[in-house]
Structure formats: C-alpha cells, structure tokens
Amino acid sequence: MSTSSTLRCALLAAALSASVPAFATPQQGSGVAWDIVEGITTEIGPRMAGSPAEGRARAWGAEKLKALGFQNVKVEEFKTLAWTRGPESARLTAPYAQPLAITALGFSVPTPKGGLKAEMVYFPTLAALEAVPEGSLKGKVAFIDHAMRAAQDGSGYGPYGNVRRQGPTIASRKGAAAVVIRSAGTDSHRNPHTGVTIFAKDVKPIPAGAVSNPDADLIARTAARGKPLAIDLTLEGKPFPDAPSGNVIADLPGRDPSLPIIVLACHLDSWDLGTGAVDDASGCAIVTAAALAAQKDGQALRTIRVLWSGNEEMGIGGGGGAHYAKLHGSEPHAVAMESDFGADNVWAAKFSASPADKPLVDKVKAALWPMGITPHEGPADGGADVEAIIKAQDLAVIDLGQDGMHYFDLHHTPDDTLDKVDPAALQQNVDAWTAVLKVIANEPGVIGKAGAK
Ligand code: ZN
Ligand code: ZN
C-alpha cells in the first residue's frame, strides 16, 4: 500500500468514526408524563402483580405523587392470587427438530420434571379445537393458531385474545396434557407474548405457553406437511396464593369538595418480559400529568383522583379495580376514565352518559375537535381498573381511544420498553386528557347516569 493510499484509509477511518456515535442516543422527552414513564421503567422495571417489585413500584408511586403536589396519597394493599415465571423452553422434535421461542401464560402450571415430550396436534382456530370430542387429546399437546391482525382500535384483541384467555381451558376439557398457542400479538419479531389465562373452576389447569408469530408460522407450515408433530416442552411457572398487591390513590382536591369526584385510572403492575413502558407506565403518566395540567388556569371545581391500580394483569374479577370499589364505593363519583392502551396518539372519543349529560358531552366533543379527535359510536367502557366503580355507581364514562396499530406488536413482550414511547405522542395524550378534564372537572351540574335518575 502506498503512503498516499494509507493516508486515504486513515482519513476515511477518521471520517467514519466521527459520524458514528460511541453509543446510541436514547429518545429523550421532558415534562411530568415523560418523567413518570422514564422513572418507573428505569428505577423499578418489570413489576409483576404480587412481586416485591410491584411493592417497590407502589412506594415509588406514592413518593412521586406527593412530590408532584397530590394530596391524600394512600397505598391501599390487598392480597391476591399471583403467579411466578420459571425456566421455560420448547422445541419441535418431529417431523423436524427446531427450537421454538416460547413463554408461559400467567396461571400456567408446571410441566412434569424433565419436561413434557408429547405428540402435538395443530388446530387452525379455537373453533376447530372446540369441535373435537372431550377426552380426545389425552396425553397430547394442543397447538392453537389464529389470525390476529393489527387494527386501529385494537379490537382484534377481543376475538383473538380469546385463544389465550379461553384456549387453555378448552384444551384441558379435551384432555390435553398441555397447550401452546400463537401469541396474541401482531408483530413479526421472535418474541412470544405472555398474558393471563384463567382456567375455569371445573377444569384441571394444564401447562400453557405462547410461541412467537414466526414460530407459529413454522408450526403451521410443518403441520401442512401432514406428518405427525411432536414437542419437548418445559414450562415451570406456577401460581401462588396470598401475594401482596395494592393500589396507590391520590387527589387534587377541587374547590367544592362536596361535588362527586372524577377518577382517572391506570395500572401499576406489568408483565415481566419487558419493563411495562407502554403497558401501563404510560397510562399512569398520561392521567397524572393531565390531572395536574388541568389546574394550570386555577384549581378545578371538582376533585380529580388518580388511581394507580395494582394487579390489573392477573386480577380479573378481583384486582385493584375491585379493591378500589370495595373501599371507595360509598364516596360519590361523577366520571371514570382509564388509560391502558399505550402511548400512541389519541384519535377517537367514546361516551357513556345519561341523556341529561348531552350538553356536557357536546362541550367535551368541541374541546377535542380542534385536536383532530373525533367522536365515535359508544359505549365507552373505561377498563378493568374502573369497571367495578362504574358498575357500583352507574358512572358516566369517557374513553379516549389511542392508535392501536402498533400496540399489539409490543404488548406483553420483551419489546415493551421506554424507547417505544414517542415523547410527542405521549404529550398529545396528555393534551387530549387535559382538554377533557378542563371541561368535566369544572362542570357544576349533576353528571352521570345515577344522578339523572
Ligand atoms: Zn394494561
Ligand atoms: Zn397488559
């Protein structure tokens, strides 16, 4: 190599090293909402219901809410049935040996010591599994496929999420020794999606896991060859009773404390594979930042309460939302809202209110139109953390629907991390919630279906 070409190489190397940073610069936001998501994901991380980490998250939340100026900050603990993950692995052993990316579903029971080696039967849909006779899968593993696709309103999670919620119970009824499903997710990463399954009381719980979408594609292609499938499955996670969980609640008292309050919910617990940034640290960040921003032009008329709920993920029927209604069901509430669908832009609004609330609903719609957020057919249902209080008091409900095209790419996976939160979209959520709160928290009249009776 000549001296001049050596020099050219050195210059080129210098130019390249100047253009490539030593490490990636993380996406950085600012403001109350960003600080909450960044803080929970950095200082706590994964926080499974009933785990010591969820306890640390409650302490973190209480301290944060006090520091932000909230009053009556309370940690309200309860005991819950929880679940802990164990070692997990799977591989196809016939007709082709292939490793599979798998994760256990919450409330799965462990496979036998040394793993379960069994024939695996492919079902293209939940309906196909339902159609086989009871007892026909004795000693076998059921694999349930499905065709969940991304939808802007996330509505595919209803029908296709049933594969996770109900599939294991149905497989157990058919006699299956274990069940594997295609993840309830819309990404093409090799990330399985966890999430809870609830075994019906009259069935024996069985080991239950989900494989990533590319692995489910592989199983489907292999099944199409028509040769028998076999799997070697290890899932050691198991349930445990009487675990500590709890809610954190905090108020921004209104000018008239006698008026029914507004409750804004999110959930503090998360699955363990990621750090629970979009599900649901973002929700807690959005509602909390908006409650504060709504006071910017002066103290609101009504008290706004935030509920950072415990055990939403595994507490179906008895989690933080139920505990909140048990403790606070006698305090008059006017409106309930919840944020639990990530941090992408709000685009749709839905309402459940009495006919007498129409003028108020029209005011809220008018506040959202300039942001490009349009009213959609109801009903609004709030979410798991406010379901019990809505039922108890027949509350008015407003849903601010976020863009769900990417939510189920990340949901309950290792990809649910801070870098997926777009600071600008997070702020758009805060602005939308603030616009709604400025209207409803300053409404002097009666709000809600119960009040209209
Ligand atoms: Zn959630
Ligand atoms: Zn979740």
Whether residue 440 contacts residue 301, with contact meaning beta carbons closer than 8 Å, is answered with: no
Residue 234 Cα, ligand 2 centroid: separation in angstroms? 24
Residue 279 Cα, ligand 1 centroid: separation in angstroms? 5
Q: Before 95, cis peptide (omega within 30)?
A: yes
Helix (H, G, I), strand (E, B) or coil at 277: helix
Residue 192 Cα, ligand 2 centroid: separation in angstroms? 14
Residue 404 Cα, ligand 1 centroid: separation in angstroms? 13
- Answer yes or no: do 310 and 199 share one domain: no
Residue 420 Cα, ligand 1 centroid: separation in angstroms? 15
Residue 150, domain CATH: 3.50.30.30
Q: Does 254 fall in a domain?
A: yes
- Answer yes or no: do 45 and 187 share one domain: no
Taking Cα atoms as reference points, which of 406, 295, 282 lies closest to residue 340? 282
Q: Does 219 fall in a domain?
A: yes
Q: Tokens 């009556």 — which residue?
A: 72
Among all bound ligands, the one having the nearest atom to the CA of 194 is 2
Residue 20 Cα, ligand 1 centroid: separation in angstroms? 37
- Answer yes or no: do 74 and 94 share one domain: no
d(CA 108, CA 116): 14
Residue 280 Cα, ligand 1 centroid: separation in angstroms? 5
Residue 384 Cα, ligand 1 centroid: separation in angstroms? 9
Among all bound ligands, the one having the nearest atom to the CA of 313 is 2
Nearest 5 degrees, angle CA 317-CA 390-CA 51?
A: 40
Residue 194 Cα, ligand 2 centroid: separation in angstroms? 9
Q: Does 151 fall in a domain?
A: yes
Residue 312 Cα, ligand 2 centroid: separation in angstroms? 8
List per-block mean pLDDT (blocks of 10 residues) for the chain, which spans 453 residues.
55 56 71 98 98 98 98 98 98 98 98 98 98 97 97 93 97 98 97 97 98 98 98 98 98 97 98 98 98 97 98 90 98 98 98 95 98 95 96 96 98 98 98 98 87 50
Specify the number of domains making up the chain. Answer: 2
- Answer yes or no: do 264 and 184 share one domain: no
Q: Tell me how far CA of residue 109 lies from CA of 84, 146, 177, in angstroms.
A: 10, 23, 11
d(CA 211, CA 217): 10
- Answer yes or no: do 334 and 428 share one domain: yes
Q: Give the model's pLDDT for residue 349.
A: 98
d(CA 337, CA 330): 18
d(CA 407, CA 156): 11
Whether residue 76 contacts residue 325, with contact meaning beta carbons closer than 8 Å, is answered with: no
Region at 27 (left for phi over 0; alpha for psi -120 to 50; beta for the rest)? beta
Residue 139 Cα, ligand 1 centroid: separation in angstroms? 34
Q: Would you state the structure tokens that stand for residue 157, as one six-digit string? A: 């999670």
Q: Tell me how far CA of residue 235 lies from CA of 162, 167, 382, in angstroms.
A: 21, 17, 34
Whether residue 101 contacts residue 234, with contact meaning beta carbons closer than 8 Å, is answered with: no
Q: Give the model's pLDDT for residue 1.
A: 46
Q: Does 276 fall in a domain?
A: yes
d(CA 221, CA 264): 46
Residue 386 Cα, ligand 1 centroid: separation in angstroms? 12
Residue where a domain terminates, one of 172, 201, 236: 236
Whether residue 263 contacts residue 305, with contact meaning beta carbons closer than 8 Å, is answered with: yes
Residue-by-residue DSSP string for 318-387: TSHHHHHHHHHTTS-EEEEEE--S-SSPEEEEEEE--GGGHHHHHHHHHHHGGGT-EE--------TTTH
Taking Cα atoms as reference points, which of 111, 351, 58, 61 lies closest to residue 231? 111
- Answer yes or no: do 294 and 210 share one domain: no
DSSP letter (8 states) at residue 36: H
Residue where a domain terminates, one of 236, 265, 283: 236
Residue 340 Cα, ligand 1 centroid: separation in angstroms? 5
Strand stretches in 183-303, DSSP E: 208-211, 229-235, 238-252, 261-267
d(CA 373, CA 391): 27
Range of the domain at 159: 86-236
Whether residue 286 contacts residue 34, with contact meaning beta carbons closer than 8 Å, is answered with: no
Q: Give the model's pLDDT for residue 28.
A: 84
Residue 282 Cα, ligand 1 centroid: separation in angstroms? 10
Give residues with Cβ within 8 angstroms of 325, minimum separation 6. 388, 389, 391, 392
Residue 12 Cα, ligand 2 centroid: separation in angstroms? 48
Residue 102 Cα, ligand 2 centroid: separation in angstroms? 18
Q: Does 5 fall in a domain?
A: no
Q: Does 128 fall in a domain?
A: yes
- Answer yes or no: do 183 and 313 share one domain: no
- Answer yes or no: do 147 and 65 share one domain: no
Residue where a domain terminates, one of 220, 236, 252: 236
Terminal C-alpha separation, the chain:
91
Q: Give the model's pLDDT for residue 240.
A: 96
- Answer yes or no: do 268 and 412 share one domain: yes
**Strand partners for 129:** none
- Answer yes or no: do 232 and 248 share one domain: no
Q: Tell whether pTM > 0.75.
A: yes
- Answer yes or no: do 91 and 207 share one domain: yes
Residue 380, domain CATH: 3.40.630.10
d(CA 381, CA 387): 7
Residue 221 Cα, ligand 2 centroid: separation in angstroms? 30
Q: Does 282 fall in a domain?
A: yes
Q: Does 183 fall in a domain?
A: yes
Q: Would you state the structure tokens that stand for residue 183, as one six-digit string? A: 């993840």
